[in-house]
Amino acid sequence: MARCLLTVPFKEIAFLSHPIMLSLQKKADILRKARMEPPSPAPDADERSLGVWAREIEQRFVAYSAARAAQSLRQAEEVRQNSMLQRMAWSPGTL
């Protein structure tokens, strides 16, 4: 059951404000499921190569997240416009 934020103790509110960080492996899994194959690190990669690999995963995940957010916004705007047009079509007109 959801609680009103006014009844939630302050410590819990502070916890809710912290974003949950995803691991690189989880981000790579999400990219894979979205058919955006992430790069694989070399088995004998040094620290610098792993850093480049991690940066590539982060950049691809940010691009994927931004594209999903933009798509969601476009869909919400389309629903809003369709709703407005339906209301206008069914409202009595004045002559």
Mean pLDDT value across residues 32-36: 92
Amino acid symbol at 59: Q
Number of structural domains, the chain?
1
Domain range for 84: 23-34+45-90
Mean pLDDT value across residues 58-79: 95
Confidence of residue 37 (pLDDT cuts 50, 70, 90): confident
In a domain, 68, yes or no: yes
In a domain, 14, yes or no: no
In a domain, 54, yes or no: yes
pLDDT of residue 6: 45
Vertex 53: Cα angle to 51 and 57 (nearest 5): 115
In a domain, 6, yes or no: no
In a domain, 12, yes or no: no
In a domain, 95, yes or no: no
Q: DSSP assignment of the chain, as one string? A: ----GGGS-HHHHHHHTSPPPPPHHHHHHHHHHTT-PPP---TT--HHHHHHHHHHHHHHHHHHHHHHHHHHHHHHHHHHHHHHHHHHHHSPP--
In a domain, 30, yes or no: yes
pLDDT of residue 82: 94
